[in-house]
Structure 1
Amino acid sequence: MTSTDLGDALKTWRAAVAPQDAGLPSGGQRRIPGLRREELSQLAGISADYLTRLEQGRATNPSPQVVEALARALRLGQDERLHLFHLAGLVPPGPDRISSYITPGVQRMLERLQHTPVAVYDAMWTLLHANPLYVALMGEWHGKDRNGAWRNFVGTGTRVRQTPDSLRDLRAATAADLRRTAARYPDDPRLRELIRQLRADSPLFSELWNSGAVAEHSSARKTVDHPQLGAITLDCDVLHVAGDDLRLMVYTAEPGSPDAERLALLSVIGTQFSDNIT
């Protein structure tokens, strides 16, 4: 296998994705069909320079995380995703590893929820995708804060209004949910490292972890303090994708309420405050 096989495949798949299918505007003159390099790099969360080097064969050893992000951004099916891992010289994640793959079915579901704040998390609560309205509502997260457990125990927090009791309930539910995930994926190295760091950096997490509680993190009613629109109270439902261990976090407002009006306004002006993240 030559060093350009990976690059050729990436270019072929990039040309096959219509911008509108990836949630991008399709206007303007395009010299070639499909996504531009800058668009794919943005969707995958990597630099355009690194993507260029991958396509040109000057970079040949992408990490599993980069390959997973590219497969997701290119909307590859399961067989194509496995082929991309093989082209990169990597063993695809097995059933004993937490998957970061967003299936085409979930992708299509996200496209139909453009006017609803929705984000996709993996089984260890790492953010995989957030649509523009979710980002406008909750803001952007970077680095370790992309993991919800880290964010709630150690990181910078969120815009969600919390009382001391509600924050402790959230943290207890998060720790119990992680313990449930750890029982399912006992050998996943990323999960084990996350738990190790949380136990080292958060005495409360260590205490909750040692309690042995196991539970599934579910729905709640939340008030978000938005910097432009003020308080917005929404129902937050966590939907689990059977067989894939993905979690869809969906925010909705009671129809006809002031919160529904604020959410509708945010769907109009929200992109002025934030960009999409993947």
Structure 2
Amino acid sequence: MANTGFGTALRHWRDRVTPQAAGLPAGGRRRAAGLRREELAQLAGISADYVVRLEQGRATTPSAQVVEALARALRLTADERRHLFRLAGLAPPGPGTVPRHITPGVHRMLDRLSGTPVAVFDAAWHQLLANPLYTALMGEWQGKDLNGVRRNFLNPNTRVRDTPESRDALHAALVADLRRTAGRYPDDLDLRSLIADLRRHSPRFAALWEAGALGRHEAARKTIDHPDVGPLTLDCDVLAVAGSDLRMMVYTAEPGTEDADRLALLGVLGTQSLAERG
């Protein structure tokens, strides 16, 4: 059975989002002001063919993850997001699950911080959104590696230069934070799966979890070894978004330093790379 209501809503919301509003280059002549299907697919991390099938009502059972990604890419309000879930035949995420909705205000904040590396994470440290400069600085992550806890315990390919002491403090803070999140959102199956997976595959995580590790994220100075512009020592701050349990990770350089110059150069290189890929 075709799901025409979902497809109609998708086309309507796609038409109202300009590429500039979605953080994409406008690029050439366009028949309509809204997003192309290929652009929506890129923003949501799905194939353009799947977007076509959804809009035509030929794909009738999108997963909650796909609906969430589409709502984020289309910058839907909380009410619109709930409506999209219902059109897909899904119950909107309840209060016992980790909030993953990014408000239009947070989207606009990232747009205005284009010269600053910023990423938005949920309470389980899953990266929901990153501006181009953050991606240029930290690298582009995909799939399960979008989760910052998993990345830190299971993927050694990070650009952040650690000492044993800083790594231990970060690991303890991440485990303690994830335990608090699990207490707040007991119905989140993805969160329970993440914790079980980490306990199974990381002896370090398992030991800290069993020991009830304590710790919290603090502002820190981090050195990032970048393959193109060299090392950058930046201030890293984690800001809480009131009322949503989202975290914004922001990297800044001290003005007038070589680090600030390298960050500015990275902004130029990152913009060029984005234009080449678009």
TM-score with structure 1 setting the length: 0.95
**1:1-278 counterparts in 2 under 5 A?**
3-273=3-273
Deviation of the 1:27 alpha carbon: 4.2
TM-score with structure 2 setting the length: 0.95
CA distance in 2, matches of 1:249, 1:65: 23
- Structure 1 residues 199 and 259: CA distance shift in structure 2, 3 A: same
| Cα contact 1:117–1:251 (8 A) shared by 2 | yes
CA distance in 2, matches of 1:229, 1:273: 14
CA distance in 2, matches of 1:186, 1:216: 21
Letter in 1 for 2:166: S
Aligned residues, how many?
Answer: 277
- Say which SS state the counterpart of residue 19 (structure 1) adopts: coil
CA distance in 1, matches of 2:167, 2:273: 27
CA offsets 1:39-95 (integer angstroms, 9 cap, x no match): 011011111011110001110111111111111111111111111001000000011
- Say which SS state the counterpart of residue 21 (structure 2) adopts: helix
| Cα contact 2:229–2:262 (8 A) shared by 1 | yes
- Structure 1 residues 20 and 145: CA distance shift in structure 2, 3 A: same
Letter in 2 for 1:75: R
| Cα contact 1:179–1:213 (8 A) shared by 2 | no
- Say which SS state the counterpart of residue 114 (structure 1) adopts: coil
CA distance in 2, matches of 1:22, 1:186: 33
Cα RMSD of the aligned pairs, angstroms, is 1.8
CA distance in 1, matches of 2:75, 2:2: 24
- Say which SS state the counterpart of residue 244 (structure 1) adopts: coil
CA offsets 1:160-187 (integer angstroms, 9 cap, x no match): 0012222121111111111111111122
Letter in 2 for 1:5: G
